[in-house]
A and B are shown apart, each in its own frame.
Chain A
Amino acid sequence: MGIVQPIATRRSATGILTGKLAVWWLIGSEIVIFGGLLASYIMMRLLHGDWANEAEHTNVVIGATNTFVLLTSSLFVVLSHYWAEKGDRDKAFKYMWLTILGGALFLCFKSYEWTHEIAQGYTISKSLFWSFYYVAAGIHGLHIIGGVVIMAFISFDLKKGKNMHRAELIGLYWHFVDIVWIFLFPLLYIAK
């Protein structure tokens, strides 16, 4: 049943594209969710000095490489948006898939990291630090998976030159997920 796009979607009283406005509001709601979680973590962290001993066992090397991977994939998604804006389908498609590769790489490193930590006994119920660690990094990981899946769909549209503006929309989301990781990395890994 083909859904005709309502005229409402094409109107733009604020001058901002409707799709982009919705993504900004989505990012706004995500800021408050991650913000609430990290605020709770920071408070508990300041109370429990002994969590520093627990945090010793996080793998800073993998955390750092993951930060590098996400920063690079942020670069690729903005290039994909740049070429989509110019209308160059192939380049937009290529950089979108490089971004997806970055996301996938991030997930591989994370799963490697987690399997080893769990193997050494640092499970989610070992201590409250690890509970916050797995909840925060877990929700962030789910957002990475969601982003990667959506980027795959959008890349096929880009190939056909359809809905090119969506490259920017998923780019905004991806940059936000990268910013969340930029705050997660020091909080979970560095604070020793």
Chain B
Amino acid sequence: MSNDHDHHEQSIWEKYIFSVDHKVIGMQYLFTGMLMALIGGFFVYVFRMQLAFPGAEVLGWGIVNSAEYNALVTNHGSIMIFWVAMPVLIAAFGNFLIPLMIGCDDMVFPRLNRLSYQIFLISALVLIASFFVQGGGFGGAWTAYPPLSANANYNLTPWGSILWLVAVALEFVAFLMGGINFITTLMNSRAPGMKMYDIPIVVWMIVLASILFMASVGPLIAGAIMLLLDQTMSIGFFDPAKGGDPVLWQHLFWFFGHPEVYVVLLPAMGIVAEVMTTFSRKKLFAYKTVLNTAIATGILSFFVWAHHQFVSGIDPRMANIFTVTTVIISIPIAEMCFVYIATLYKGSIEFTTAMLFALAFLVEFLLGGVTGIFLGASGSDIYFHDTYFVLAHFHYTFVPIAIISVFAAIYYWYPKMFGRLMNETLGKIHFWGTVISFNIIFIPLFILGASGQHRRIYNYENFPQLATDGMQNLRVVATMGLIAMLVSQIPFLYNFVTSWKKGKIAGNNPWKANTLEWVATSPAPHGNFKELPTCYRGPYEYGKMEGRKDDYWPQNEES
């Protein structure tokens, strides 16, 4: 059936600002996420300079006092998770890819899709506003443990904490609405002939992530309302003097917190699966195993949350249950990594920038996953909890998830978004600059953490055992690594902007991939396909197949 979709020429206002096209909304999320990443990156530059050169004036900020330091640390964490990782990984690539990859013309609810971006934009503006209010930005860590977050005379940021909480709550609402849109679209609007196991893994992962998010965020939304009342009307849900219990907030937060990290992990694994299979020309090793381990990880992720609270006041007997479930959850993830590595076996790997980033994801994420076992085992967590070892662990998982796999996705789908290829040499410079400096930052932080340096401390000169020259040099090395990593983003931004007009024309299928988005023209028009495609086979038919000249077999081709 022909697709009589676009009928009248839309004004700029309709086409870009108030668009209901899933691709434009995807780009809006992507640009907002990248802008917030710059802000988060600036924050980490400022407070790492303070750590490397305590008390010195930081270029571009001035003297960093302890309240500012806490606000910078808190909002670096909040921005990078809620306003960079989730919007870019789930909303930007979810919106852009899901309709294209399952062969339909748009999300099922275009206006709900636009509304969820608008609420997300408001949440980002509310968060930015929280830095300019009296008392400055909220400084009580992104976990916002009460009574510090609930009581203004404890956190000394009366407006900052309220605005931070409202921003996070709005962001949850935006992603609940977005999630319902994604899940319903995948369930109902698949191309004819696309059976469950023909759906590309990245689409599966993004929708699984939306389901995990929806099922885990509920209690925290109730918790956010309770905390908001504590902050504004000093009600006392979490104030022990009034009968409340601060540990209740910790449970509400981490019941959401841990499924949340799998919510951002799964789309990243999906992106790596797409990029890796295309550039190694290899069928994904055991598609069903990847899918089943993803679902198993998702379900298990609801049973592990209290490993964040081993020493934070929960009953020691509970800790034993959670250490068992936490160490067990490393099984499905290890299985998924083994299967990804097995996909490369007997492949023919072409080292494009996207492929380099996908491989770097696997290399780096393995170290992130392995160091997590030190923290999941309750015994060793007594020592490592809230040290820089924890910080290095979750950066070895979050940076590959939110930065490295996102770069792989941008280099891979840029031709489909803008119709032109990004420059490969600039891409390689950007790749080596980012990955090498990333390791220079966080290997020293592992060592610092193992020698007892705790997180969020503004100035280590107060602790003689931490103020040794050796440790201070490690902090300087880490800060130099960070500056190198930020500087090496310049070739990427330059490449991103100039390739818009000056990149090589890409054509529909530059990478010779199978999935349906490469059937549409690049950039795809409103309504995506002239003829909505039918799906005949799985998305990963790569490799030498008898009777076929090419080493790939697009999903929509009949023969």
A and B touch in the complex (CB under 8 A): yes
| A interface residues (Cβ-Cβ under 8 A, vs B) | 1, 3-4, 6-9, 11-14, 16, 18, 21-22, 25-26, 28-37, 39-40, 43-44, 47-48, 124-125, 127-128, 131, 135, 139
Complex CA distance for A145 and B69, rounded to whole angstroms:
43
Contacts of B236 in A (CB 8 A): 125, 128, 131
Contacts of A6 in B (CB 8 A): 5, 104-108, 110, 527
Contacts of A31 in B (CB 8 A): 218
Nearest residue (CB) in B for A35 is B218
B226 touches A40 (CB 8 A): yes
B75-110 near A? 1/0 per residue, CB < 8 Å: 000000000000000000000000100001111111
**Which range holds the interface residue count of chain B?**
35 or more
- For the complex, is B185 an interface residue (Cβ under 8 Å from A)? yes
Contacts of A11 in B (CB 8 A): 104, 188-190
B243 touches A44 (CB 8 A): yes
B180 touches A12 (CB 8 A): no
Contacts of B248 in A (CB 8 A): 40, 43-44
Partner of B225, one of A39, A44, A125, A139: A139
Nearest residue (CB) in A for B114 is A3
Contacts of A47 in B (CB 8 A): 245
Nearest residue (CB) in B for A15 is B188
- For the complex, is B121 an interface residue (Cβ under 8 Å from A)? no
In the complex, what's the smallest C-beta–C-beta distance from B170 to chain A, in angstroms?
15
Residue from B105, B222, B242, B255 having most chain A Cβ neighbours under 10 A: B222
Query: Which chain B residues in 233-292 approach chain A with CB under 8 Å?
Result: 233-237, 242-245, 248, 252, 255
B106 touches A37 (CB 8 A): no
B178-209 near A? 1/0 per residue, CB < 8 Å: 01110111011110001000000000000000
Query: Which chain B residues in 210-233 approach chain A with CB under 8 Å?
Result: 214-223, 225-226, 229, 233
Q: List 10 A-B contacts (CB under 8 A).
A: A3-B111, A8-B104, A18-B189, A25-B179, A34-B222, A40-B222, A40-B223, A44-B244, A125-B234, A127-B242
A-side binding surface: helix, strand, loop or mixed?
helix
In the complex, what's the smallest C-beta–C-beta distance from B554 to chain A, in angstroms?
21
Question: Taking A16-B188, A28-B214, A32-B218 as contacts, is the C-beta distance between A9 and B108 under 8 angstroms?
Answer: yes
In the complex, what's the smallest C-beta–C-beta distance from A173 to chain B, in angstroms?
13
In the complex, what's the smallest C-beta–C-beta distance from A126 to chain B, in angstroms?
10
Extra contacts, 13 of them, besides A4-B7, A14-B188, A33-B222 (Cβ < 8 A), are A8-B185, A11-B188, A11-B189, A13-B194, A14-B187, A18-B189, A22-B184, A25-B179, A31-B218, A36-B221, A37-B222, A124-B235, A125-B235
- For the complex, is B461 an interface residue (Cβ under 8 Å from A)? no
Contacts of B255 in A (CB 8 A): 36
A32 touches B225 (CB 8 A): no
Question: Taking A3-B111, A8-B106, A35-B218 as contacts, is the C-beta distance between A18 and B180 under 8 angstroms?
Answer: no
B218 touches A9 (CB 8 A): no
Contacts of B184 in A (CB 8 A): 18, 21-22, 25
Complex CA distance for A18 and B104, rounded to whole angstroms:
14
Nearest residue (CB) in B for A29 is B214
In the complex, what's the smallest C-beta–C-beta distance from A179 to chain B, in angstroms?
16
- For the complex, is B360 an interface residue (Cβ under 8 Å from A)? no
Contacts of B176 in A (CB 8 A): 29
Contacts of A22 in B (CB 8 A): 108-109, 180-181, 184
- For the complex, is B550 an interface residue (Cβ under 8 Å from A)? no
Nearest residue (CB) in B for A22 is B184
- For the complex, is B474 an interface residue (Cβ under 8 Å from A)? no
A44 touches B245 (CB 8 A): yes
Nearest residue (CB) in B for A33 is B218
Complex CA distance for A30 and B181, rounded to whole angstroms:
16
B104 touches A7 (CB 8 A): yes
A36 touches B222 (CB 8 A): yes
Partner of A36, one of B183, B218, B234: B218
- For the complex, is B406 an interface residue (Cβ under 8 Å from A)? no
Contacts of B105 in A (CB 8 A): 6-8
Partner of A40, one of B183, B188, B217, B252: B252
